[in-house]
Amino acid sequence: MSRIADDATTAWIRRYHPSADSAVRLVCFPHAGGSASFFRPVSVRFAAEADVVALQYPGRQDRRHELCVEDIGVLADRLSEELGALSDKPTVFFGHSMGAVLAFETALRLEERGAGAPRAIVASGRRAPSCHRAERVHQEDDEGVIAELRLLNGTDAAVFGDDELMRMALPAIRGDYRAIETYTCPPGRRVRCGITVLTGDADPRTTLEEAAAWKEHTEGAFRMQVFPGGHFFLIDHQGAVNAELGKELDAARATVS
């Protein structure tokens, strides 16, 4: 695959505030049903100091006519190819919910390649990869999927009142849920880079114990920060979450000779 320029946007890679001369990179992995634009506020915050890349999976927004990838391994394979075509910069991966698992799986693949691997992963709003729950939201009818979205409280209320928007969004949401709910990971699977976990203390889909179990998936440093709130705690605590991202980017920048 040919190299992707440091200021380029592609089907997979979105740069809302290109910063080609930045010494470090932040790659953002959206949640199930989410899109690259969810991370626009992060891009605004770090535009002056990092190459902020937000990933756009198939099946949503301007890629809504493409088939959703319903397998975490296949999607991580594709993402590792795309990210492997970027220039070599100290990089931090930031993933929320399903995106945290994708960040982990993509990092594993890049570490195996020996190029493009992150210096750290910030895993937000997701239990450790080996903590499996028998969840079947992807098998529910449309009302069941919508009930799950309401429970997690991360979808704009206006979307629920717009039938056309909801019909457009549901295929990608269901496909992503199928991908994450059928995903499994053995307990001993580890990345070499460090992992920082961010979690809400009232998340209905991740207990504090399940979040802490990420420690078993890294050979590097581990730390965990607990925030008040549910699954989308990061929306209410954007400043504090950005501060955690800033710490990781500073550490990555310090490795530049």
- Rounded Cα distance between 105 and 49, Å, is 26
Beta strand spans in 78-212 (E): 91-96, 120-124, 194-200
DSSP string, 49-72: TSEEEEE--TTSGGGTTSPP---H
CA dist., res. 21 & res. 38, Å (int): 24
Helices (H) and strands (E) in the chain, counts: 9, 7
Adjacency order of strands within the sheet including 91-96: 13-14, 51-55, 25-29, 91-96, 120-124, 194-200, 222-227
Return d(Cα 190, Cα 129) in angstroms, integer: 10
Select which of 19, 22, 35, 97 is catalytic: 97
Alpha-carbon dihedral of residues 69, 18, 155, 215, nearest 10 degrees?
A: 70
The one-letter amino acid code at 73 reads G
Rounded Cα distance, 17 and 151, in Å: 33
Letter string b/e over residues 216-235, b meaning 16 or more CB atoms within 10 A of that residue's CB: bbbeeeeeebebebbbbbbe
CA 44 to chain centre: 17
Whether 97 sits among the annotated catalytic residues: the reply is: yes
Q: Cβ(132)–Cβ(210) under 8 Å? A: no
Catalytic residues: 97
